Chains A and B, each alone.
Chain A
Amino acid sequence: MATPTLSKTDKMEEAAAASPYITVTFRIRRFNPEISDEAQWQDFQIEIDPKERVLDGLHKIKWDLDGTLTFRRSCAHGICGSDAMRINGKNRLACKTLIKDINPEKPITVEAIKGLTVMKDLVVDMEPFFQAYRDVMPFLVTKGNEPTRERLQSAEDRERFDDTTKCILCAACTSSCPVFWNDGQYFGPAAIVNAHRFIFDSRDEAGEQRLEILNDKDGVWRCRTTFNCTDACPRGIEVTKAIQEVKRALITRRFCPLRGRRYEGPAPECVFRGGALARSGEHAPSVIADRRRSPLHAGRAGRARRRMGGGTRPGFAVERSSA
């Protein structure tokens, strides 16, 4: 390539060099139980380059105007999953949302994600979210002797679960789900995404157990395919499709003679909203309600207790965090 085509880059550079600051209003839902039990909206006006991130705006407010504004953040480029929040009514990462992409002419509303207890301003209690994750056995399970070298996996088998390996556990999906809002016992999309990552990994041998966990009344069948999760996911994961694939695996499994073994059925295809699978999926709980419960169901009880402030299932990581 002798002379690179620079047109688009050129334009971007010129625009960036010009740095046209604009005045933007951030309307933030504040909550600090040390001061008041009531949450309230507060407006802040700042000067900002529209090509900056919402996170930059929050920093400007915290650093220049009001040090008490509280939010989590770390990487600032969409990789660590710290800063999922509701921005103009939609779940997004503040560090991946540019001001110019969300109409800066009107006040930008920012509030904590829904369905998890707000601790202060934009900070929520993440514990129930991580507990649901831990409950789906989010780790590779294999049997028999370990090979000396790596396990072999074909590029196609690796590709099969690529999408769901991208998850950064930001909770944007789970906290955008109306089913989760109404009933915090639902595992939620993120936990299912992480179960999917292992169920469809050709090296794993506990697919059956995970499917059993997700067959629970608080499992995949609660999903109403509203697609909020897919829209919310900052990593572009096809969350609803993953949930559908797990449902489909559960249905296929009923006819699968290899019960107790890894799921080895055909790779399920995505069935979209309103499709046959979605409907049959919704009816499935009654069909399989009397299935023998696996010992792992104890885990669900553990989770319920945990949410009421009780203990956790032995053998699983204990997280001592907030509250």
Chain B
Amino acid sequence: MKIHKYDTVIVGAGGAGMRAAIESTKRSRTAVLTKLYPTRSHTGAAQGGMAAALANVEEDNWEWHTFDTVKGGDYLVDQDAAEILAKEAIDAVLDLEKMGLPFNRTPDGTIDQRRFGGHSRNHGEAPVRRSCYAADRTGHMILQTLYQNCVKEGVEFFNEFYVLDQLLVEEDGVKKSAGVVAYELATGEIHVFQAKSVIYASGGTGKFFKVTSNAHTLTGDGQAACYRRGLPLEDMEFFQFHPTGIWRMGILLTEGARGEGGILRNKDGERFMEKYAPVMKDLASRDVVSRSIYTEIREGRGCGPAGDHVYLDLTHLPPEQLDAKLPDITEFARTYLGIEPYTDPIPIQPTAHYAMGGIPTNVEGEVLADNTTVVPGLYAAGEVACVSVHGANRLGTNSLLDINVFGKRSGIAAAKYAQENDYVELPENPAQQVVDLVEHLRNSTGKERVADLRLELQETMDACVMVFRTEQTIKTAVEKIAELRERYKNVSVQDKGKRFNTDLLEAIELGNLLDLAEVMAVSALARKESRGGHYREDYPNRDDVNFMRHTMAYREVGADGSDSVRLDYKPVVTTRYQPMERKY
């Protein structure tokens, strides 16, 4: 075991982690721990763009953007946070441009903007061009640009270090962060990082679904590490299903495709979104479009021999436009489906995409231990966190924005905290929990296999807690997850070595997914209403009287060592906008 000492430790080197690192490295001695090489992070997969009311191509302002964010999130958004997001969006985009990001340009040479779902002028009047983009690889450009600037700033990275535990120590009756414990992939060695402040920026948890746009490595490690140490997780029942994933594979085809004029059609060639969202049509909010697609499929208007998908039609768009604006996704269609998007429609289905919930924080990125108490020295930003700017449903292009705005804020706040505070003493045997976990898995002779359990989990989640949910399906999921968690105790790995033992890490990641799936299902069961990404067929309406509040899920450990999820709720911050019915 090795012990390191840094002012600030950042967990994750995606957009949020590197944006934070650029700030904190200037102000405090910072280490970035990342399980992937920074440029492998899933921010690089983002395609469509990043929202900011620059008003470069048409009238726009941050207040409209705030409204759209609140409405898009079905009023579960904390409005103070949404306001900061929309206001600081403008500088966030300009910062990136100054760091070198090659945005597409208007004829005047300013940053070009395009339409995106749910973004409108004047509170829903008509779609507005608000998404700043670089072809259909905006996330790639953001990730590269931030890494380039980390190189410039001399950010210190520990690549292929998996953070597996969060150290919390009680001091003067207050739970404080003391550091993290990490596992080094190359050697199998365990490292303790003592730090005055820690920022989680470890991304999403989409891998508990089968059809997903998320990377294999998005296994919610940060959420799980905090949850196991007694910290709450907020709004975990809210997961976004993106309407246009490649049929069966889940690979994302950006909403930018519809922003450029792409149309969704059923087997009769009908533009069915006209029925469900007369104004915004194909560019209605994602939850609305995903449900519309499944309604078409259920009512027998799906395409293909099994009628299990619909089409994204780009054939009426000029090939030059596809080449210039959507080169990557048209190539995905060619590579993975053998289809030519110039002439043929692309089969799509909704794909599990984005975790709205996560580690609760305030607008400075400080992690909350309950509804109001901050954990000194602990921060979170990006998809792992829940500020909450996305509420029940995130608008497209608001996450790349979120990681930049709140990545920067948490980087500044964490470095400041480190400057002003001392180290918290490490607990005795700080690495014990990780050592035990690793040893248990390495030595286990159990008969259960990681791949089987993971597949069963994913199939359960797809079947039971996806776009449509009912009491019955969620209960089935809760039971199945409990069974899988029990069986997980008998999981064993084949690779017993120290070097690059990815077999072992997949087992650990599965443990995280199982815990988070349980939290999601239990939270979903209790929310007897439909709101944003959480749609209950047995409670199809939004219920502001009983459920206009955030879910806070805690891990409870019984006297016998068994654990369960305890739910509590937190009020929503409402400033300007009173809840209205959401129509597109």
Question: Which residues of A approach B to under 8 Å, CB–CB?
Answer: 1-9, 12-14, 16-17, 32-35, 51, 62-64, 66-68, 70-82, 96, 98, 119-121, 123, 126, 130, 134, 138-140, 142, 146, 149-155, 158, 161-162, 165-169, 198, 201, 203-204, 314-323
- From B45, B108, B344, give the contact of A77 (CB < 8 A): B45
Q: A320–B159 contact, CB under 8 A?
A: yes
Name the distance in Å between B510's Cβ and chain A's nearest Cβ: 11
Question: Which residues of the partner chain A approach B340 to less than 8 Å between Cβ atoms?
Answer: 8
Contact across chains for A67 and B148 when beta carbons are under 8 A apart = no
Excluding A34-B497, A168-B44, 10 further A-B contacts by CB distance (< 8 Å) are A1-B316, A12-B339, A63-B451, A80-B36, A153-B105, A155-B105, A158-B103, A168-B140, A319-B159, A321-B158
Q: Are B338 and A96 in contact (CB under 8 A)?
A: no
Q: Given A68-B495, A322-B160 in contact, is the A80-B44 Cβ separation under 8 Å?
A: yes
Chain B residues close to A by CB (< 8 Å): 36-37, 39-42, 44-45, 93-94, 97-100, 102-111, 134-135, 137, 140-141, 144, 148-160, 185-187, 215-217, 247-249, 251, 265, 269, 303-306, 311, 313, 315-316, 332, 335-340, 343-347, 449-451, 493-495, 497-503
Distance A285 CA – B197 CA, assembled complex (angstroms): 51
- A154 in contact with B158 (CB, 8 Å): no
Indicate if the CB atoms of B499 and A119 lie closer than 8 Å. yes
Query: What separation, in Å, do the CA atoms of A146 and B97 have in the docked complex?
Result: 11
Known: A1-B269, A34-B499. A151 touches B335 (CB 8 A): no
Identity of the chain A residue whose Cβ is nearest the Cβ of B141 in the assembled complex: A165
Chain B positions within 8 Å of A151 at CB level: 97-98
**Using Cβ atoms and an 8 Å threshold, which residues of chain B touch A320?**
156-159
Residues of B within 8 A of A150 (CB): 93-94, 97-98, 103, 110-111
Q: Say yes or no: A314 contacts B140, CB within 8 Å.
A: no
* Most chain A CB inside 10 Å of its own CB: which residue of B40, B45, B108, B269: B40
Check if B156 sits within 8 Å of A323, measured CB to CB.
Answer: no
Measured between C-beta atoms, what is the minimum distance from A221 to chain B in Å? Answer: 25
| B-chain residues with CB within 8 Å of residue A318 when the two chains form the complex | 154, 156-157
Complex Cα spacing A63 to B215, Å:
17
* Contact of B494 with A66 in the complex, beta carbons under 8 Å: yes
B509 nearest CB across to chain A (Å): 12
Contacts of B151 in A (CB 8 A): 134, 138-139, 316-317
Main secondary structure of the interface of B (DSSP, over half): loop
A-B residue pairs in contact (CB < 8 Å), sample of 20: A5-B343, A8-B344, A12-B339, A16-B247, A75-B216, A80-B44, A81-B39, A120-B499, A120-B500, A121-B500, A140-B99, A146-B98, A150-B103, A153-B105, A158-B104, A168-B44, A169-B37, A317-B154, A318-B154, A322-B186
Query: What residues on A are CB-neighbors of B345 within 8 Å?
Result: 4, 6, 9
CA distance A7 to B102 in the complex (A): 38
Chain A residues with CB under 8 Å of B103's CB are 150, 158
CA A71 to CA B103, docked complex, whole Å: 34
Q: Which residue of B lies closest to A75 (CB)?
A: B215
State whether B152 touches A68 (Cβ < 8 A).
no
The one of A3, A167, A314 that contacts B154, using a Cβ cutoff of 8 Å = A314
Contacts of B93 in A (CB 8 A): 150
Contacts of A3 in B (CB 8 A): 269
With known contacts A4-B265, A119-B500, A140-B148, A80–B45 Cβ distance under 8 A: yes
Contact B100 A34 (CB under 8 A): no
Known A-B contacts A5-B315, A166-B137; the reply to A149 vs B94 at CB < 8 A is yes
Smallest CB separation, A89 vs chain B (Å): 21
A9–B267 Cα gap in the complex (Å)? 12
A6 to B337, CA, bound (A): 14
Q: How far is the CA of A13 from the CA of B247 in the complex (A)?
A: 10
Q: If A13-B304, A80-B45 touch, does A317 touch B344 (CB 8 Å cutoff)?
A: no
Q: Which residues of A contact B451 (CB under 8 A)?
A: 63-64
Contacting residues, chain B, for A322 (C-beta < 8 A): 159-160, 185-187, 500
Residue of A4, A6, A121, A142 ringed by the most chain B CB atoms within 10 A: A4
In the complex, the answer to whether A67 meets B215 with C-beta atoms within 8 Å is: no
Known contacts A9-B339, A119-B186, A201-B102; is A32 also within 8 Å of B499 by CB?
yes
For residue B500, give the distance in angstroms from its CB to the closest CB of chain A: 4
Known: A14-B305, A317-B157. A165 touches B102 (CB 8 A): yes
Q: Check B338 against A68 for contact (C-beta < 8 Å).
A: no
B499 touches A33 (CB 8 A): yes
Task: For A168, give its contact among B39, B148, B152, B338 (CB under 8 Å).
Answer: B39
A residues near B217, Cβ cutoff 8 Å: 74
